[in-house]
Structure 1
């Protein structure tokens, strides 16, 4: 079975982890700050805080921005549930903004319309979480200008997008957001096994996220309520969590990020090859927003079902039967039973729901061979009867 995504672990990666295993630190040692420095060097952000998952990073980002009961968080319905759940963890209410049918990202026009109505109703969101689906950057300048106009904070969910660029600058530089979050799950562009990061240019937000990441505990005398009792002394000044990344994960991340540009470039070559080989099939191929460079975590096609004599489910099933491990990213969050219980209904976000009816994620990983890619294309061509 050709998977839709796959990590590459080289001897360099293994050696980095083994060296850390043989060191004095398995957690809270030098590798974590070194990985954070590598992320800052890559993105240009002033601060990077790594965590045990992107979900944890989203949570501490919300906490640092003061999200709580009575507040609203808005995000895209086409995302993994964590992009919305992070707001619920804080006691906030969730709503969604429908997607652009070309980019599959949060639509700036739909956002403008929804913000205008929310202002009249006194229900403006405190936080907006645009999601760079598939690695394709959102239209961040337009989103940022709307957020400033309405006093909304922005967390970029760039879980798919490390290595991508917007307006020629690296995703993660936080030019158009308060905080950006990355994921390092094994199917993502680089991996730390599990792991994530939150980046910001704001000193205060970085300090708060650092506290929330590690039990709310500090050894910084300037933050304490009394003088230190001695070299052992610390204080808990917030209710925090154990969201720390281990030294082993960070060592792997340091090794992987050295090959990040290579990984993304190879993904672009594969995407170009898909674009050529699939051009004559009854499919809608991925759209590239001008002035962006996608991280290309995913390569999503949309079936033109009016020109195909099979259903969406049949095409998906038959691809699996031919050894092609396609997937679907994502089921609209508002249609999940938990969110239905919160009052959302099918029909609330029609563009997201239409996307779900026809989308399929084809295999995309940087070690994919031309032979494997040909196998995907041939299977799809045969199934679609071309």
Structure 2
């Protein structure tokens, strides 16, 4: 037995054209009429058109049961029948949309046109009078089959699109879970805030994408305390992995033949290790400082990174600021490049603030980009407050407007 008209599993921009002969030959048609003579006449007429897969039903209830058991491409339906009339069958099919009822051509008497209109309103595709013309029958049948085929194609494409959407959503959920796991790992390697011997706090908020910011601090020995923050270009897993690798190497002090108390030497060695040409053109910026507690001096070097900021309390209660910056190339630009260091005296009571550019390179709601000077002014006024770092982030969000910031927001504050 021929199967109902089918379509390809592959989605297409436009359905392929199918000849009328193929439509008729592959169609499965249900003829519903209480008159055996009328059923025979319709079957014979359909055979003449090339339709061979034809089933018969004696009334609407018989037809309904067959439709529940089998798919049809077309139904020729009488209106007046015992058990269940044509209009009753159409309403029953309408009440069970999951059946996927076939298109219906109502066969009516010449005096039943009003009833035929009611059937069309109830879901029938078309109608023919019982004294039908073979040419008109062919036109009605092929038109209905073509509409059915196009609807099947559209339904298949919708189902395929829904499947693809579900697949993409599953993939996105998995990626989100993996990125969240990566973010949790990045957070886990940050050192905890401290109260003694130095009071240290920090604030970190990633952008909408996994970024390449990382930071740390540790005692190199009893007298020297290292503070560092790096920012890998770009977003995603690659920059995050490079960031974690580099920060772990700094924290562990596992840079061969380098004195970790010498910031310039540390940056020069890292630049040789993480050359862009070997890191898929990724580079990072870095601020690295070493505080010498006995002399209250800090020696620092930066590779393409924003200046750290000293907040210095004044006798009148105001706060002065001092930028700690040495101008050097980004890390990984060239091999064997020297990196200069600078040394600054740290006044008693001063706070050191180390940050990434995401803390101030923010475009406000009017399209203007904030500057380091804007950040410096904010910290001069608010930097001594216990919640200054969170307040800075809220200020940046307010300037930026709705939505996440474009870059990671990383900042560390140390009471020296």
* TM-score > 0.5 by shorter chain: no
Q: Which of the two has greater strand per residue? A: 2
State which structure, 1 or 2, has the greater radius of gyration over its C-alpha atoms.
Answer: 2
> What TM-score results when the alignment is normalised by the length of structure 1?
0.23
